[in-house]
Amino acid sequence: MNKKTVRDIDLRGKRVLMRADFNVPLKEGVITDDTRIQAALPTIKYILEQGASLILMSHLGRPKGKTPELSLKPVADYLGKLLGQEVKMAPDVVGDEVKAMADALAPGEVLVLENTRFYGEESKNVPEFAEKLASLGNVFVNDAFGTAHRAHASTEGVTHYMPGVAGFLIGKELDFLGKATGDPDRPFVVILGGAKVSDKIAVIENMLGKADKLLIGGGMANTFFKAQGLEMGDSLVEADALEMAKSLMAKGGDKLVLPVDAVAADAFDNAANYKVVTVDAVEPGWRILDIGPKTVSLYKDILKTAKTVVWNGPMGVFEMENFAKGTFAIAEVLAELDAVTIIGGGDSASAVAKAGVADKVSHVSTGGGASLEFLEGKVLPGIAALEDK
């Protein structure tokens, strides 16, 4: 990674403005999953140990203006318990009172700003708003990989007014994803799933030039089958993506691998009747909801020789128990590999967690959209804005 991190700068006596990803699920003001807060802790603790004061900012949900139920107060309280110290809560994102609280911080003290998206200027990246944020500190640390693909005031705008470096979480993401897409140990296998091929066209095109094999699963496989002239019954098919699917198959050749069998059901329901069929035997009124056992076996054979694997997107409707077997089987295969295994956030991260193997893969990305755009070969604005080494 050619970006500076918190280790590359002197933090002693500095007021650090840090963008974290505290977009956590809340139920009646109680945090129900603290994964994102835990992920930010190594950078937070390091900054405080270096003798700096810390101002933390994040968004939470999609508020329409100042929405009390989407306040970051529960996050500040929770973080205080984790750190074993008082974490101050700002009454707003910017303003005279917030500025006075930031200026008054002593080394080792922490202040959490209110939800950055209480202001429309955040997502519009309004320079005046970014400048107000930047005025709160004298060095910027971005550790919110999940929003690094957005050019917002708190991710990109502030770097026009102060130097910016990466936190440990972004550093880890760039190390794993950068190596996989730039200089992978081979064979390099990419697994792509999810509902729509249109969501993954750019990834497929980029990865066909980098990977040794590209394994397809999920609803997106149906569009490839339909493009081959197979009947898909009531399966999800993107009619306007058929020509693109034909083009990708022609370009991919034997590098692009499709399922050979599937689990088909007579309704989109966990209680539906279901059976294993070959992909050319989907009956009218039935739909494909998972990959079948022969496909799992085929993919396992390809994966067992891999040295680098990137997986983005489930193999079926894994939220329903009867159509989760393919996704969980792939997760279990990855957990046993002697390879670098990277899970691309979003539903894939949820799937490995549900399969109980999240701790047995090399890296679970914290950013679904950000990791997808990285795999597409796009420049992430929140990363590009940080200082080079």
121 band by pLDDT with thresholds 50, 70 and 90: very high
What number does CATH give the domain 6-167?
A: 3.40.50.1260
Q: Which of 3, 19, 36, 200 is catalytic?
A: 36
Q: Which residues on neighbouring strands pair with residue 16, listed in sequence order?
A: 54, 139
Q: Which of 218, 346, 367, 368 is catalytic?
A: 346
Q: Is residue 36 among the annotated active site residues?
A: yes
How confident is the model at residue 28, as a pLDDT? 87
Q: Is residue 369 among the annotated active site residues?
A: yes
Convert the pLDDT of each residue in 45-57 to its tens digit: 999 999 999 999 9
Domain ranges of the chain: 6-167, 184-375
Q: Which of 4, 45, 99, 196 is catalytic?
A: 196
Q: Which of 80, 108, 369, 377 is catalytic?
A: 369
What number does CATH give the domain 184-375?
A: 3.40.50.1260
The angle at the Cα of 371, spanning 367 to 373, to the nearest 5 degrees, equals: 125
User: Is it the case that residue 343 has pLDDT exceeding 90?
Assistant: yes
Q: How far is it, in rounded angstroms, from Cα 344 to Cα 361?
A: 11
Residue 49 burial (10 A CB sphere; 0-12, 13-18, 19+):
exposed
Q: How far is it, in rounded angstroms, from Cα 123 to Cα 120?
A: 6
Instruction: Please check whether the two domains, 6-167 and 184-375, share a CATH topology.
Output: yes
Q: What is the pTM of this model?
A: 0.89
Q: How far is it, in rounded angstroms, from Cα 169 to Cα 201?
A: 28
User: Is it the case that residue 157 has pLDDT exceeding 80?
Assistant: yes
Q: Is residue 196 among the annotated active site residues?
A: yes
The angle at the Cα of 246, spanning 333 to 190, to the nearest 5 degrees, equals: 20
How confident is the model at residue 1, as a pLDDT? 63
User: Is it the case that residue 156 has pLDDT exceeding 80?
Assistant: yes
Q: Is residue 346 among the annotated active site residues?
A: yes
Q: How far is it, in rounded angstroms, from Cα 277 to Cα 293?
A: 10
The maximal CA–CA distance of the chain, rounded, in angstroms, is: 70
